[in-house]
Homo-oligomer: A and B are copies of this chain.
Amino acid sequence: MTEISGAELTIDLGAVQANYRTLQSHLAGAELAAVVKADAYGLGLGPVVRALTETGCETFFVATAAEAVQLRGSESDANIHVFNGPLPGEEAAFLEHALVPVLNSLEQVQNWSAYCTGIGAPGLADIQIDTGMSRLGLEAGDVARLAGSPELLQSITLDLALSHLACADQPDHAMNNEQLAAFEAGAGPIGAPRHSLASSSGIFLGTEYHFDMARAGAALFGLNPVPGNPNPMRQVIRIQGKILQVRSVDTHRSVGYGASHQATRSAKIATVAIGYGDGYLRALSNAGTVFIDSHEVPVVGRVSMDLTTLDVTDVPDGLLALGQPVDFAGPLNPVDRIAEQAGTIGYEILTSLGTRYQRHYVGGEGNSA
């Protein structure tokens, strides 16, 4: 097979495992479940789940039934919970694949109960309580109605009562305490045996937020759960592109689409084969920075679909050969930093990772060299 030499995405499963252990160490007795929706935040459902299973993780959350069925195909023993719960018609798939639906409304409770009653088999389920996201979950009135009408839960075996914090990455935000109080008030009457409130950042709000289970996604994958403080998590991804060309550009020569960058001095411009088609967001035009060896260089001009242009005037020529690797993400430019440059959050940088990269998984027992 002849050599093909494109941009590379390296995913450190050992770092994912280390992050799992770090988060677990904050939890005392509570279980740590892993959130692996959106293809494990873009990092690859199969390899990520295998690495987490090796580390002792037994419970996984995904968003949709389709994701859960895919996960069940490789993990016959895992506990798989589905945040969105069943859409009408999906109930059979939940039972067939032993998926635990999160029921987010009285209507979903009624549908699931009716389905399980109809086939004469009790079904496991979680109940989500909305404590402030106004997104999914039972409101206070729904909780009261459910608590007063046990027949609504006919044929349902409850597992978790859960909710979701809106501002957990801001520890001083008043909503955290309000949501905690609302969760305690709502979860009690429902009568579920286990409670879960915290995601990655919530773990760091204190033990009163831990209950029986925390559900970590972002922090497992290296995003900082405590913004403004040093990141306790290990970086998981590294992205390296290759220099295709370096050119000298005179003053007043424009760069890229729409001529959005104009050189203000004689400059050297390097073109690298990574673009927004790879998930390096177009918002990073004239805003992102990348690294050549230890040299930080700015993106100049608009990021295009397959190419990004860099001002490499201050980089030694020895580091500017055709094929020279350039770090678009890595030890010196973690995902959170790229997100800040792009005006978004690290989550979106991860889920945007494109399919053109040559993906390499390192670390983890299943990948030990």
- Given known pairs A93-B2, A133-B256, A322-B87, the reply for A38 and B305 (CB within 8 Å) is yes
Q: A312-366: which residues lie under 8 A (CB-CB) from chain B?
A: 322-323, 343-345, 347-348, 351-352, 354-356, 358
Q: Are A136 and B271 in contact (CB under 8 A)?
A: yes
Contact of A134 among B170, B255, B273 (CB under 8 A): B255
A344 to B6, CA, bound (A): 26
Q: Per DSSP, are chain A's interface residues mostly helix, strand or loop, or mixed?
A: loop
Q: Which of A51-59, A61-69, A118-126, A230-238 contacts B (4 or more CB under 8 A)?
A: A61-69
* A287 CB, nearest partner CB in chain B, Å: 13
- For A162-182 the 0/1 string (1 means CB < 8 A from B) is 000011001000010000000
Chain B contacts for A245, CB-based, 8 A: 104-105, 107-108, 136
Q: Which of A12-20, A146-154, A207-215, A275-283 contacts B (4 or more CB under 8 A)?
A: A275-283
Q: Are B134 and A253 in contact (CB under 8 A)?
A: yes
Q: Which residue of B lies closest to A168 (CB)?
A: B257
Contact of A88 among B107, B249, B301, B323 (CB under 8 A): B323
Chain B contacts for A301, CB-based, 8 A: 134-135
Contact-size category for A: 35 or more
Q: Is A288 an interface residue (CB 8 A)?
A: no
- For A1-33 the 0/1 string (1 means CB < 8 A from B) is 011111000000000000000000000000000
Chain B contacts for A134, CB-based, 8 A: 247, 249, 253-256, 269, 301, 309
A309 to B175, CA, bound (A): 19
- Given known pairs A255-B135, A256-B135, A305-B351, the reply for A273 and B130 (CB within 8 Å) is no
Q: Are B166 and A244 in contact (CB under 8 A)?
A: no
Contact of A92 among B3, B277, B322, B345 (CB under 8 A): B3
Q: Are B135 and A309 in contact (CB under 8 A)?
A: yes
Q: Is A81 an interface residue (CB 8 A)?
A: no
Q: Are B271 and A135 in contact (CB under 8 A)?
A: yes
Known pairs A276-B352, A282-B348. 17 more at Cβ < 8 A? A5-B90, A6-B64, A38-B305, A39-B356, A41-B305, A66-B356, A87-B242, A87-B323, A105-B247, A130-B247, A133-B255, A133-B257, A135-B256, A166-B257, A166-B258, A167-B259, A355-B355
Task: Pull 18 A–B residue pairs with CB atoms less than 8 Å apart, ordered by A.
Answer: A5-B65, A5-B87, A38-B305, A38-B354, A39-B356, A41-B305, A63-B306, A67-B356, A84-B306, A87-B323, A105-B244, A108-B245, A132-B259, A133-B256, A167-B259, A276-B352, A283-B343, A352-B352
